[in-house]
Amino acid sequence: MDVRRLDLLRELAERGSVTAVAEATGRTPSAVSQQLKVLEREAGMPLTERVGRGVVLTSAGHALARSATEVAVALERAAALWDEFRHHPSGEVSLLTFPTIGATLLPVVLRDLSSIAGLVVRATDLDPELAEFPDLTNDYDIVLAHTMPGELPWGGRGLRALPLLTEPLDVGLPADHRLAERSYVTPADLVGETWLGVPAGYPFERIHHAIEQAGGRLLDVSQRFSDMRLAEAFIQAGLGIALVPRYTSGAPPEGLVLKPLRGVASVRRIFALVRPDVAERLAVRTVLDVLVDRAARLEQSYGHPSRNEASTAG
């Protein structure tokens, strides 16, 4: 069987439609369909079946797609061994980040990697909903993703998830707020406050719901922002309070203070997501090693959460 046709079958399993595969691989849908038909003849049995206007994989198709992943991993592993033999990670690595971790971590990571000739990292940013992170690994070598404790939306997808940070989420308050002198706050302290929330489906929503349950009252959310800089500007103006990441938002701007939240699990976990075949590339592994190292240094620079915070963070 032709490896390139096997890869198309794997892409179909990941992306769910011939049209999506065509767009991702720079082919026409008819060309993808023709190659899949050739693969079916080589396999000697149907690999896809029509459902409505689209096609889905048969049980044989799913089995062969899993084998195609194993083939892709083996090929990348062979290429990585050759790179290691040459003692040189080379090639281009595409990386997708969400804004806060990107602004904090990526400049130093790319600076560290800049001394490696032939290794190019192409980074871009996006702040997707929680469920969208796994699918983005089809288009980027490394996807930086964040989630709440107990939620792993990429579980069962066959992705490699490398932990980078466990980051406390503090409550951002105006400097003249009635709670600004407190060492920490609880959900009961926050009853009646005006909140700056996040778009529906974003990970922070789970903590908002936990605060509502613990405080016994729905949050009054006046505005919803995906950009933390906007939320911080509104906090400074006295227009609300919000959850603010402790490590990746940088030093609080003048007029804003951060207070640890106790009584609910108020942390997020940050991972690097990689497809298993991509993870074999030496260039990708090199970037991941630097990401892990820099994330550890960032966490150490702030110190670990207090024992009380850790006990309520789950």
DSSP 129: -
User: What is the pLDDT at residue 85?
Assistant: 47
Let me know whether 194 and 251 are in one domain: yes
CA distance 109 to 29: 39
Total number of domains in the chain: 3
The tokens of 163 are what?
């932990």
CA dihedral 134, 139, 142, 143 (to 10 degrees): -40
Residue that has been written with the tokens 């290429």 in this structure = 79
H-helix or E-strand spanning residue 119: strand 119-125
Which band of pLDDT confidence, cut at 50, 70 and 90, is reported for residue 230? very high
CA distance 133 to 126: 10
Each residue of 105-159: pLDDT tens digit? 999 999 999 999 889 999 999 877 777 888 899 889 999 999 887 777 787 778 9
Higher model confidence: residue 80 or residue 209? Answer: 209
Q: What is the DSSP string of 180-220?
A: TT-S-B-GGGGTT-EEEE--TT-TTHHHHHHHHHHHTS--E
Let me know whether 10 and 76 are in one domain: yes
Please, is 12 exposed, middle or buried when counting C-beta atoms within 10 Å of its C-beta (0-12, 13-18, 19+)?
buried
DSSP 17: S
Let me know whether 26 and 172 are in one domain: no
pLDDT at 62 over 90: no
C-beta separation of 164 from 154 below 8 A: no
The tokens of 66 are what?
């899993």
Q: What is the CATH number for 273?
A: 3.40.190.10
Let me know whether 127 and 273 are in one domain: yes
Helix axis angle for 18-25 and 29-43, nearest 10°, is: 110
Each residue of 251-273: pLDDT tens digit? 888 899 999 999 999 999 999 99
Let me know whether 221 and 196 are in one domain: yes
Which band of pLDDT confidence, cut at 50, 70 and 90, is reported for residue 83? low
User: What is the pLDDT at residue 309?
Assistant: 45
Let me know whether 182 and 260 are in one domain: yes
Per DSSP, the three-state class of 223 is strand
Mean residue pLDDT of the chain comes to 84
Q: What is the DSSP string of 233-300?
A: HHHHTTS-BEEEETTTT-SPPTTEEEE-B-SS--EEEEEEEE-TTGGG-HHHHHHHHHHHHHHHHHHH
Let me know whether 194 and 171 are in one domain: yes
Let me know whether 215 and 288 are in one domain: no
Mean pLDDT of 59-75: 73
Let me know whether 240 and 110 are in one domain: no
CA distance 233 to 256: 9
Let me know whether 95 and 145 are in one domain: yes
Determine how many CB atoms are found less than 10 A away from the CB of residue 233.
16
Let me know whether 136 and 276 are in one domain: yes
Give the structural domain span for 212. Answer: 167-267
Let me know whether 148 and 70 are in one domain: no
CA distance 160 to 83: 21
Residue that has been written with the tokens 């050759």 in this structure = 82
The tokens of 243 are what?
């959850």
CA dihedral 179, 180, 186, 188 (to 10 degrees): 20
Q: What is the CATH number for 78?
A: 1.10.10.10
